[in-house]
Amino acid sequence: MAVTNFIWNPLSENVLLETDENNTTVVAYTHGSGLYGKLLSQDRGGATSDYHYDSRRSTRQLTDANQGVTDTATYSAFGETVAKTGVTTNPFGYNGAVGYYTNSDTSDLYVRARTYDPTSGRWLSSDPLEFVDGPNTYSYVSNRPTAFMDPLGLYTLRDAIKSLESRGVKKLAPPSKIIDQSGNLGEGIGGTNYPGVDVNIQIENPFSSNRYSPTQLFEEWLRLEKQSTAWLAKIPQCPDEICIKNGKIKNCNNGIWNELKNDYFVNEYHDGADYCMRSIAFAGSAQQCCYEQKGQTLKLIKSGEPAGTPDLVAATGNVGTIFNWFGDTGHIGHDLTPYLLAKQLGRYDDYLKVRPLSQGGGSCYLPSRAEIDRRRREYNRMKRKLKEMSGMAG
């Protein structure tokens, strides 16, 4: 049996390369940025194929370097291949844009945490998060594949709502309540303009149409989040201090942190902080650090609402991705909505149980040449001392 090795990108949770038993590259994949970044093309044996998707993000066509269509496919709602033309090897068919990988021997789909059987429309193993998707832990997206997908093999963004519904919890909220970006509850649907964002974003309260109260939804979200906190160990801790030199802030240069900002979002959500920055994405998540200026130094804020909180889904990408309550990778739906709910309900301390504030200790700057020389001298000094002590012992 042929051996296939997968070279994995832990930042995007995508397969980059497939190699054989001799570690020779068989195929290389190109993706867009971000978690489950959209699969763009494959280079297999020198032949490049570009991916084209339908509205469900399943591969509809492959085209060659001359933009000629080489392969086509259609799928059932649960992922069975209905029709197919062409002979190009392509494991990313159904929901291929987000990394559903087809096992050519079994036709099952590998979806990161679990394996999915499109014939039965069920997962082949129980949900690692147990009952977040309802009482049937083998069910695929609550049997609604045309509405949802599950690129982690774990759960969708409607976990809290579906979990409450699965237990028959009574819905308590009036239908017209909305929540705006300041955490205020009101009537109707709110439109918000953001500086520098050329779009009028209509934000409808995600619990209004479902009629669960803010308290119900927040408590259920909190319960589910407590079952999945391993991602916190993947993100870096914040640097304790940032330097200001000649009146200018010296941004971190070790490749982990984006530049410090003092913009609308800092003032709106971290009132009392002078600057905030985010880390690059680590497996799709990111750290956020906020600072207060003290003389010629920025000091990390380690408590209170001005402090930065970690993001399960990094706030990167285009506006359509970030400002999306129920998108599969939306920062708003995963992080900002619960944050606003927590503030509105006076439950900020509970929010911090699953979004703990960094207490510092992280790195920021690459060592200077002088620092490298100092460390080398110190190392050589200790080496000589150890040698002298060894000689005395002899």
DSSP codes, 65-109: TTS-EEEEEEE-TTS-EEEEE-----S--TTGGGT-EE-TTT--E
**Highest-scoring range by mean pLDDT, 48-52, 334-338, 374-378:** 48-52
Name the residue type at position 192: T
Task: For residue 341, give Cα distances in angstroms to 160, 221, 237, 317.
Answer: 13, 11, 25, 24
Collapsed DSSP state (helix, strand, coil) of residue 14: strand
Task: For residue 165, give Cα distances in angstroms to 132, 158, 170, 214, 219.
Answer: 11, 11, 8, 15, 14
* 56-109 pLDDT, tens digit each: 789 999 999 999 999 999 999 999 999 999 999 999 999 898 889 999 888 999
Q: Is the pLDDT of residue 136 over 80?
A: no
Helix axes of 214-225 and 337-345: crossing angle, nearest 10 degrees:
120
Give the separation between CA 13 and CA 200, rounded to whole angstroms.
32
Q: Is the pLDDT of residue 385 over 90?
A: no
Cα–Cα–Cα angle for 318, 319, 325, nearest 5°? 120
Collapsed DSSP state (helix, strand, coil) of residue 166: helix
Residue 146 CB partners (closer than 8 Å, separation 6+): 56, 77
275 within 8 A of 288, measured Cβ to Cβ: no
What's the half-sphere exposure (Cβ side, CA atoms, 13 Å) at 336?
24
Residue % of the chain over a pLDDT of 70: 74
Secondary element (H or E) of residue 337: helix 337-345
Q: Is the pLDDT of residue 169 over 50?
A: yes
Supply the pLDDT for residue 327: 40
What are the residues facing 339 on neighbouring strands? none
Range in 194-208, 215-229, 351-365 the model is least confident about? 194-208
Domain ranges of the chain: 5-102, 231-354
Alpha-carbon dihedral angle through residues 12, 17, 20, 21, given to the nearest 10 degrees: -50
- pLDDT band, very low/low/confident/very high, at 200 (cuts 50, 70, 90): very low
Secondary element (H or E) of residue 275: strand 275-278
Cβ atoms < 10 Å from Cβ of 103: 11
* 51-66 pLDDT, tens digit each: 999 887 899 999 999 9
Cα–Cα–Cα angle for 348, 320, 140, nearest 5°? 75
Tokens 């906190």 belong to residue: 229
More confident residue, 321 or 354: 354
Supply the pLDDT for residue 220: 84
N-term to C-term CA, the chain: 59
Collapsed DSSP state (helix, strand, coil) of residue 157: coil
What are the residues facing 181 on neighbouring strands? none
Tokens of 256: 């982990």
Residue 13 CB partners (closer than 8 Å, separation 6+): 35, 36, 99, 112, 151, 152, 283, 284
Alpha-carbon dihedral angle through residues 375, 376, 378, 384, given to the nearest 10 degrees: 160
More confident residue, 189 or 30: 30
Supply the pLDDT for residue 68: 96
Residue 57 CB partners (closer than 8 Å, separation 6+): 38, 95, 96, 97, 98, 149
Give the separation between CA 87 and CA 172, rounded to whole angstroms.
54
- pLDDT band, very low/low/confident/very high, at 49 (cuts 50, 70, 90): very high
Give the separation between CA 347 and CA 352, rounded to whole angstroms.
9
Supply the pLDDT for residue 28: 95
Give the separation between CA 281 and CA 36, rounded to whole angstroms.
12
- pLDDT band, very low/low/confident/very high, at 127 (cuts 50, 70, 90): low
Which of 161, 153, 201, 158 lies closest to 36, judged by CA?
A: 153
Walk across the sheet containing 241-245 and list its strands.
248-249, 241-245, 297-300, 288-294, 275-278
